[in-house]
Chains A and B, each alone.
Chain A
Amino acid sequence: MRTIAYDDVVSTTKRLCVEANTRLGDDVLAVIRAAASRESSPLGRQVLAEILENDELAACEGTPMCQDTGSAVVFVELGEGVQVSGGHLRDAIDEGVRQGYTEGYLRKSMVADPLRRKNTGDNTPAVVHVDLTPGDRLRLALLPKGGGAENMSRATMLTPADGERGVKAFVVETVERAGPNACPPVIVGVGIGGTFDTVGALAKKALLRRAGERHPDPYYAGLEEELLEQINALGVGPMGYGGTTTALEVRIEVAPCHIVSLPVAVNLQCHAARVARAEL
């Protein structure tokens, strides 16, 4: 059994918090640039140029690109042949988030209780998803998730008769209702299938995918393209001022489901689609 020191998980998580919030991935920058070259609205082009300028400045200065540095969502792929020594994995991730958000001058946006709403002061706890995988590696992907787009996300339980048409209508309607509130252009994470509890996680997992990559199944890749076209026909545009770039991408993740069910979740991600990854 391979071991990884607790402190290595802490320091890696800490680094990922700062990196994700200050440097937008080249994959995301490339799709924003491509959108800027296609946008029909002069105002929309101006907004996209401002976003690109902001992202360059943030990376250059080490300032967060957005003041909402998010909930720290961490996707873990834990190899079955590796374990953390000197402490628990969950504790190491929280400690890394605590140090990253405190020492990295990031905003602390977590409240300990949803109704009594006292800030925890250090952005913990992280939202942690763990997948067990073959091998002896530990992979971490940190996705700081801002509240504006998260608040406009939705889930529903459709019936099999609603089918593809029902799914498409729900996705497009979600983006339209979100309008300017989700900070478009957005990336649209769609989960289809699974159960009531897992479909939201599928939609979030879609946000981890690298920009520019389509679903490996040509059927779903086609559906992604078709949805993107319909969403960009809405006219919402960059920041909702009108335009042809309402979404940068649609990403679908699917899972098997019950014979009577068709769960669908749409997790909206603003243009600051921040993900930082590491392998230990």
Chain B
Amino acid sequence: MEPKRLTTPLSDADVESLHAGDLVTITGVIYGARDAAHKRLTEAMSRGETLPVDLQGQIVYYVGPTPARPGQAIGAAGPTTSTRMDPYTPALLARGLKGMIGKGYRSRAVLEALREYKAVYLAATGGAGALLAKRIKKADVMAYDDLGPEALYRFEVEEFPAMVVNDAFGGDLYAEGKEAFRKGMAALA
């Protein structure tokens, strides 16, 4: 399958061209954030403060890399489980965030927000941390450096591979893929 090439920031038209099950590659700047950085971002929004990054059209990658060895841009850098970021996600989508990269299920509220705000949920291969790190050419702490590996990062990526799991039209690769390969026996449980 030939991947669709995406360049950040994403437009509504970019998002609308994507469907569950599409392979994509992403080139440009994406932001790394996980639980603690999400908490900070949403708290700052609720206080009406300016965010350290303009989220309009951007993609957030849920990742907590290993430390880089000398000469490496970043250590192993695969996706972490997205579910933990669910409580914070709709507010970020309302602010213009267009995509998230992680792995695992999203909440109903997140899936509804994807449709409402025209955004997309992507998955990278969990446990492929060494391989995915090769696509991250530069990594800098953007804000919240006191959070260490949980800080807000800025990554420059080249052809970072991901899979469209939830699109802006209600498509869901996790549900559709499972349905396609499910066999009768499994209903037993």
Instruction: Using known A-B contacts A63-B75, A64-B76, A67-B77, determine if residue A244 contacts B130 with beta carbons closer than 8 Å.
Output: no
Q: Which residue of A lies closest to B103 (CB)?
A: A180
Partner of B178, one of A50, A107, A181, A242: A242
Q: Which residue of A lies closest to B128 (CB)?
A: A54
Q: Do the beta carbons of B103 and A66 come within 8 Å of each other?
A: no
A274 vs B185: C-alpha distance when bound (angstroms): 31
A67 vs B129: C-alpha distance when bound (angstroms): 6
Scan residues 82-131 of chain B and give those whose CB is less than 8 A from a CB of chain A. Answer: 83, 103-105, 123, 125-131
- Residue B69 interfacial (CB < 8 Å): yes
Q: Do the beta carbons of A40 and B186 come within 8 Å of each other?
A: no
Could you say which residues of chain B place their CB within 8 Å of the CB of A179? 104-105, 174, 178
Q: Do the beta carbons of A106 and B163 come within 8 Å of each other?
A: no
Scan residues 36-84 of chain B and give those whose CB is less than 8 A from a CB of chain A. Answer: 63-69, 72, 75-78, 80-81, 83
**What class of interface size applies to chain B in its complex with A?**
35 or more
**What class of interface size applies to chain A in its complex with B?**
35 or more
Q: Which residue of B lies closest to A39 (CB)?
A: B181
Most buried by B among A151, A229, A233, A244: A233
Q: Do the beta carbons of A180 and B75 come within 8 Å of each other?
A: no
- Residue A135 interfacial (CB < 8 Å): no
A107 vs B68: C-alpha distance when bound (angstroms): 10
Q: Do the beta carbons of A240 and B125 come within 8 Å of each other?
A: no
Interface positions of A (Cβ within 8 A of B): 40-43, 46-47, 50-51, 53-55, 57-58, 61, 63-69, 105-108, 119, 146-148, 151, 168-169, 172-173, 176, 179-181, 183, 229-230, 233-237, 239-244, 270-272
Can you name 24 A-B pairs with beta carbons within 8 Å?
A43-B21, A47-B125, A50-B161, A57-B130, A65-B129, A67-B75, A67-B77, A67-B80, A67-B129, A68-B129, A69-B76, A107-B65, A168-B189, A180-B174, A181-B81, A230-B189, A235-B177, A239-B163, A240-B104, A241-B123, A241-B163, A244-B181, A270-B126, A270-B127
